[in-house]
Structure formats: C-alpha cells, structure tokens
Chains A and B, each alone.
Chain A
Amino acid sequence: MARTLINVPKSAKPGEVVTIKTLISHPMETGFRPGADGRIKPRDILTEFVCAYDGEEVFRAEMFPATAANPYVSFTLKAERTGTLTFTWRGDNGFDQTETATLNVA
C-alpha cells in the first residue's frame, strides 16, 4: 500500500465549492532511465486517478511518464450533502489503491 496524504475540509456549507488535495507516494519510473547497471528500468507509473462522491464520479485524471514522482492532485467540487469520497489510483503492474474520506456538509 502506497502512503497517501488526503486533505478534505473538516466541514462545508451546502453548495460550497471545496478544494480537495491528494498526494500519493509513487516512484513514477518513466521507463526511459537507465539504472545503476546500465539497463533501462521498466516503466512503473500511475495512469489514472478517479474521485467519486457517494459513488458518483466527480473527477478523473490521466497520468503519463512525464508526471513527477509522488503525484499531487488538487481539484474542487461542490459540496451538496454529507457523503463519502473515494479516491482511486490505478497504474502499471496492477497498481490499484482506494482511499476514502468523509465530507461533512451542514
């Protein structure tokens, strides 16, 4: 399990636009770099990030070899109801990780 840092506001007003910040620990090996032995290191990157709000997809991002290591993704969404946010990262070598956070709306 890769370590993640997720910042969801503690509470939001109905209709408020909130900023979500996510950071995940990942080497994002490009597949172009030689290692210490001179051989090209195989590509190992994240390719997809998806955020769902109570099961409904609200944000999606694609990632490529030029994306830096430990990708940081920040985006906004409109808080409508108290609900669960799920964050899913997918990538090479079957990488698939999902984290959840609760957005409190009152």
Chain B
Amino acid sequence: MSVGWAQKVPALRRKTEFRLMMSGMALIINLASFRGCAAEPGIHRRRALLIWRRRRLWILGSPSAPRNEDAVSHPDHDRSTRPGKGAEVAFGAWLLVGIMTTASATEIPPAERRSGYDTMGAETQAMQRDDTTNPGMLWVQDGADLWEKVPSQAKLACAGCHGDATQAMRGVAARYPAFDERSGGPIDLETRINRCRTDNQSEAPYAQESRELLAVMAYVATQSRGLPITPVPDPRLGAARERGRALFTARMGQLGLTCAACHDDNHGHKLGAATIPQGHPNGYPLYRLEWQGLGSVQRRLRNCMTGMRAEPFAAGSSEALDLELYLMSRAAPLPIETPAVRP
C-alpha cells in the first residue's frame, strides 16, 4: 500500500483526521446505545452519557490518549491489562468496517484450509517443531507418567487397560469429539478421560484446565500428531454439528460479532498487530505464549468470546461442545499438531 499521501500531510493533521473519523464511528455506536437506553431512563442513560463524554474527550484530544490494546487476545486477564476505552472505539470502528465490507459468511473449502501454524512467526514455528524447545512437551511428558501411574484407589493405570498409548491412542484425537451412547450427544476428549477416571478408576475427576487433565489430554492427542482430522461420520452427531455451525455464524456479544466475521471472512487480515487465523483447533491442547501455559480449545473459545464482549460459554457446556464439534469438521483434513505453540 502506498503511504505517499500520508507523508505529505503533517502529522498533526493526520491525527485530527483519524480522530474525526473515529468520532463519526463512535457517534453511530452511541446513537445506537442511546436508542436502547431511551426506553429505560435512569442509571443506564446516565452511564451512557458519561461514556459518551469520556469518548468525546478522547476524540477532541485528551491528555492521555488510550492505547489500543489487542482486545481479542487478552481477555483472560491472565497477565494482561484491561483494554481501554480507545480499544472499544477502535474495535467498534473495525467492526463497522467489517460489517460494511464483508459478504455473508461462507465456509472455507477443504483445499484452502490453513493451520494457524502457517501465519505464525518463524521463531514460533521453530519452537513448535523442535520437541526440545516446545514447552508443550513438558505436559506431554507429565501425561506419559500419569498414563503409567496407578492411582491410589484404582487397581489399574490408564496403561493397565489401554496398553501402549502410542498404539492405542493413535488417531483418537483426530476423530474427537465422538458420539457418546450414554448422553446421546457428542463427548470430547477431556470428558472422556474424566469419565474413565471416575467410572473405571474410582477416582475424582481432574478439574477443568488442571495441569493433570491437560497433561493426559496432551499425551493422548500427541499420539495423533501428523494424522489428518477425520470427523466421525455418525449421523447422530449431525444435529449437534449443525447447532455448532449456527453458533459459529450467530451474532453475539455487545459488538454483535460472529465467529465467522473474523475466521471465515477476514482471515489473513490484521486485527491490531495480529494476523487473524482461520481458527482451526488442530493443535489442542496447545501452548500459548500469552498464557505461558497449556490450554484447551474451550479456554481459547472463552478468550475469543470475552474479546467479542459476549458471555463466554461455561467450561463443559453443551454450546462449547457443539461449537468444538463443528470446528473440528470445519478444520478437516488439517493434520493434528498437538502440542502446538501459538502466540
């Protein structure tokens, strides 16, 4: 893109123009929120007015212009700060541009599906490729120990029934979530591992996102590394998969975004400094540098939803499971990369 025009304009004027543009965007957003507030006057309206005043202050020039933190990739508040009001306005502007310029969501054809690996930096790619630099391998090795370890109450370790994981668990992660006879719906890897633990080993289930659960998941999923994702063609999963697809294309949250608005229509483009990936869950559980730890696909979904200012699906909820089921079919036939590394 040519930046010649920008170099000719003095920096101050450019700044003013940008702010004027933003004020237009913010006005649209605020008009919309005022319309919503008008019905119930009182505290909501006063709060909206306050927010508008603050935004106007920023647009017209305030002593400290808020920085545009990456609103989407920080939502866990793990080691991050909350994005400022500037992020809201800029994100809203981005959203409006997105709505105005994008066509209706269409699924990415299988031949054009790309792993998030392809859009990472070379250093992060190298970190994932080498098992002695991939921090996810710390969990995989923990998982290998847990696989062999006989729990206190139980007579058998995982290996006691399943034997050698490199043989028994090969390809399992590539076809999960699978159909569960008992619940009559999909079941994901973590629920399946915990069920084995409660029913066959008489142990308490591992807590969601606990180091142990992630370690066993990572160890199991690593056995499918390099194998293409092959969703179960079970027709009984069809309804859940369709519900997942509906969630993927449904507007949610205060920004009215859909998953598809970014990951179907705008992948490869920039959101802040980050390249928007296609959003395929082909490396979970994965080591995210931002998390400084391993996390499940459901944690990632909660991240995205917080960024969209939607209420995240609860861990283990049916919505999260349906969405995960759809995402896996949407990602086929990409190879499993567990334990992947992502920025």
Binding site for B on A (CB under 8 A): 3, 5-7, 21, 23, 25, 28, 33, 68-70, 72, 74
Contacts and interface: CB of A to CB of B under 8 A. Distances in A.
Contacts of A72: 133, 135
A35 B123 CA distance: 31
Nearest to A32: B79
Given A7-B132, A21-B132, A23-B133, A69 B293 contact: yes
24 contacts: A3-B138, A3-B141, A3-B142, A5-B132, A5-B133, A5-B138, A6-B132, A7-B132, A7-B133, A21-B132, A21-B133, A23-B133, A23-B135, A23-B138, A25-B135, A25-B138, A33-B79, A68-B289, A69-B293, A70-B135, A70-B138, A70-B292, A70-B293, A72-B135
Contacts, number: 35
Interface in B99-131: 130-131
Contacts of A23: 132-133, 135, 138
A60 B28 CA distance: 57
Interface in B216-242: none
Contacts of B305: none
Q: Which of A23, A33, A68 is packed against the most chain B CB atoms within 10 Å? A: A23
Contacts of A70: 135, 138, 292-293
Contacts of A33: 79
Nearest to A24: B138
Contacts of A68: 289, 292
A101 B142 CA distance: 20
B250 to A, nearest CB: 31
In this complex, the member of B79, B130, B132, B137 whose beta carbon has the largest number of chain A beta carbons within 10 angstroms is: B132
Contacts of B138: 3, 5, 23, 25, 70
A70 B136 CA distance: 10
Given A3-B142, A23-B138, A69 B292 contact: yes
B136 to A, nearest CB: 10
Nearest to A68: B292
A33 B133 CA distance: 27
Interface in B116-168: 130-133, 135, 137-138, 141-142
Nearest to B138: A25
Contacts of B142: 3
Nearest to B127: A72
Q: Which of A6, A7, A70, A74 has the most CB of B within 10 A?
A: A70
A38 to B, nearest CB: 13
Nearest to B211: A25
Nearest to A70: B135
Contacts of B130: 7, 21
Nearest to B292: A69
Nearest to B136: A70
Nearest to A8: B132
Nearest to A22: B132
A3 B142 CA distance: 8
Nearest to A3: B138
* Nearest 3 CB-CB pairings of A with B: A7-B132, A69-B292, A25-B138
Contacts of B293: 69-70
Nearest to A6: B132
A7 B79 CA distance: 29
B165 to A, nearest CB: 18
Interface in B28-55: none
A84 B141 CA distance: 24
Given A3-B138, A3-B142, A5-B132, 12 more contacts: A3-B141, A5-B138, A7-B133, A23-B138, A25-B135, A25-B138, A28-B292, A69-B292, A69-B293, A70-B292, A72-B133, A74-B133
B204 to A, nearest CB: 20
Contacts of B133: 5, 7, 21, 23, 72, 74
Contacts of B135: 23, 25, 70, 72
